[in-house]
Amino acid sequence: MNLQTHILTGILIQIFCFRVFILPFDIVFTILFAFLSHFIIDAFVLITYHTSEPQKGDLFWISWQIISYGSGTILILFFLPYALGMLFANLIDIIDWLILRQIHRIKLKTEKLDWTKNYFFHNFVAKIRKYTLFWLPNWNYNKKGIIPEIIINIILIIGVILLRI
């Protein structure tokens, strides 16, 4: 899934945990649930438009990336008090994409990254998906795959609004 989905999930989890649990359990459960949420959300990636490599010549792909990262950035700025949930909901991508892939690039001494290679945490997510959600359609390269992610994001936004009331 894309950045905004993980950001919204982290916000929702932190709001919930801070309403339900007392200190220090609110912090502990926010960290735990937000981190684990990434495995669950990414397991459903097959039903979304989520190509394994950049589609730089495709205007639709470029537009979707701008929308995804733009809305993710806006969410981070407007919901900064929920930084703990947002950080831990995205920690797997931070480790796998920003750290391990760069180490891989440095080891190979090349600028070219293997975008299709799953790294540490995403290997585990792929196994979860393979054994539990194998029946889902694969829309990773199908543009209609943005619809399930938009629906998920709307549900998460409604959840955030309801929990903040």
User: Which alpha helices (H) appear in the chain, and where do they start and end?
Assistant: 3-20, 25-43, 59-78, 83-93, 101-108, 120-132, 146-164
Distance CA 143, CA 126 (A): 22
CA distance 131 to 55: 28
- How wide is the angle at C-alpha 81 spanned by C-alphas 78 and 83, nearest 5°? 95
SS3 58: coil
What's the pLDDT score for residue 54?
Answer: 83
Tens of pLDDT along the chain (165 residues) come to 899 999 999 999 999 999 999 999 999 999 999 999 999 999 999 999 988 788 888 999 999 999 999 999 999 999 999 999 999 999 999 998 888 877 777 777 666 655 556 567 878 888 888 899 989 999 999 999 999 999 999 999 999 999 988
pTM exceeds cut of 0.85: yes
* Amino acid 155: pLDDT: 97
In angstroms, the CA 74 to CA 86 distance is 12
Q: How far is CA 49 from the centre of its chain?
A: 13
